Structure 1
Amino acid sequence: MTTPGETLATESERFASFGWMRGTSGNLSAVVSRDPLRLAVTASGLDKGSLTGSDVVVVNEDGAAVDDSGRRPSAEAALHARIARLTGAGAVVHVHTVEAVVAGRRWPTGIKLEGLEMLKGIGVAAEGEQVTLPVIANSQDMGVLGDRLEAARDPQVPAVVVAGHGLYAWGADPMRARHHTEVVQWLLEFSVRLG
């Protein structure tokens, strides 16, 4: 059986191969228990293209480490925990893509999406329905960032763009979080190219 750490290492390698987690940027998490809430989160300061199954930290609902790995969790672990609590997600992906940053600058009040077949990948009809991918201002304070995400979140869209920073997407499990990330990234690429 695959451990949460092994799953996150595999997913990190995949996203890094796309250039979405350059250097040590980005982070991923997977819920390991709900009561109490515990998440395995990729450790801080490591190259996301070469993680191993042990390169994770288990954190609590506040994003604080609760294991004795000696590793430091991502500074954004508290936001991962907040997203898991708020949405019921089982996994969260945070990538730093150029398109997310460009789109956040171009459409600071949100990115309107409609009439695209790829919308079905996030559960939105390809025709007759418009959704807005929220864009929120960045903050180094995860409490402030979490409040902004909660206020802007559209329950139909399992993602949010953080201006000047990147993309957060989530899903019921790591595979669904991966799919949502890839679909939203495609939608961002389309929107940026269309202008």
Structure 2
Amino acid sequence: MTAKRAGTPHNLTLEQAGAVLAEEAARFASFGWMRGTSGNLSLVVDREPMRLAVTASGLDKGELTAADVVLVDQAGAAVGAGRPSAEAALHARVARVTGAGAIVHVHTLASVAVGRLRPGGIVFRNLEMLKGIGRSAHDEEVVLPVIENSQDMTVLGDRWEAAHDPGVPAVLVAGHGLYVWGADARAARHHTETVEWLLELELTGYQGAAPHPGSTAAR
């Protein structure tokens, strides 16, 4: 199958999409964000009808090859051979609702820990790194939604859609991990790295700490 890659003028076969996802997965695995066989990635390869290349289930994400992907439809069901990740249905729903071309799901320590601490959502403000998700670095409040986990992808998708903020390309699933998306694989990776940095900062308690008496923020 040949289809247009979201965010680029080029056409990709399923194998080419698999090569992109394998490269991205290896990078995330090197960060320790896809330990064991956890996590999954997807790339939209067609819109009409909706088709996504999704990493295959049960594989070490640091060792994927271009062949280790499954083509799925708009419901996340396999089209042809292979068994996609259990979360493929949520990937497909995110792609449909947001128009994203790529979705990343990682299990990071910071996302799990902060999700337990901030079940109502995580508020960020006055941080330069917010530019990494297209938001202002100053005088704007950005809330990363947190939703309750479920093994039922329809239930989880409903929770995500109810909490979804079009201005925030990510959601944290409490006790589970992080879903992030972007126009293409590169954008989704950059968004993921940005959101993970923000979560790691939150975990340090930096945002809740009192400013130093001599700082501009304290005046």
Which range, TM-score by smaller chain? over 0.9
Separation in 2 of the partners of 1:181 and 1:43? Answer: 20
The correspondence for 1:116, drawn from 104, 111, 127, is 127
**Over aligned residue pairs, what C-alpha RMSD do you find?**
1.0
Q: Normalized against structure 2, the TM-score is what? A: 0.87
1:42 has 2:18 as partner: no
SS of the residue aligned with 1:132?
strand
1:148 has 2:159 as partner: yes
How far does residue 155 in structure 1 lie from its aligned partner after superposition?
Answer: 1.0
1:9-52 Cα shifts (integer Å, max 9, x gaps): 00000000000000000000000000100000000000000000
Rg larger in structure: 2
How far does residue 154 in structure 1 lie from its aligned partner after superposition?
Answer: 1.1
Q: How many pairs are equivalent?
A: 193
Separation in 2 of the partners of 1:27 and 1:74? Answer: 7
1:90-114 Cα shifts (integer Å, max 9, x gaps): 0000000010001100000000011
> Which residue of structure 1 lines up, in the alignment, with residue 79 of structure 2?
66
1:135 has 2:146 as partner: yes
Q: Normalized against structure 1, the TM-score is what? A: 0.97
> Which residue of structure 2 lines up, in the alignment, with residue 92 of structure 1?
103
1:83 has 2:85 as partner: no
> Which residue of structure 1 lines up, in the alignment, with residue 28 of structure 2?
15
SS of the residue aligned with 2:130?
helix
The runs of at least 4 consecutive aligned structure 1 residues that moved more than 4 Å come to none
SS of the residue aligned with 1:12?
helix
1:30 has 2:43 as partner: yes
1:123-162 Cα shifts (integer Å, max 9, x gaps): 0000010010000000000000000000001111100000
Separation in 1 of the partners of 2:172 and 2:164? Answer: 10
Separation in 2 of the partners of 1:88 and 1:4? Answer: 18
Q: How much identity, in percent, do the aligned residues show? A: 68
Q: Any unmatched runs of 5+ in structure 1?
A: none
SS of the residue aligned with 1:51?
coil
How far does residue 67 in structure 1 lie from its aligned partner after superposition?
Answer: 2.2
Separation in 1 of the partners of 2:115 and 2:178? Answer: 9
SS of the residue aligned with 1:191?
helix
1:57 has 2:70 as partner: yes
Separation in 2 of the partners of 1:153 and 1:106? Answer: 20
Q: Any unmatched runs of 5+ in structure 2?
A: 1-10, 209-219
Separation in 2 of the partners of 1:154 and 1:193? Answer: 25
1:177 has 2:183 as partner: no
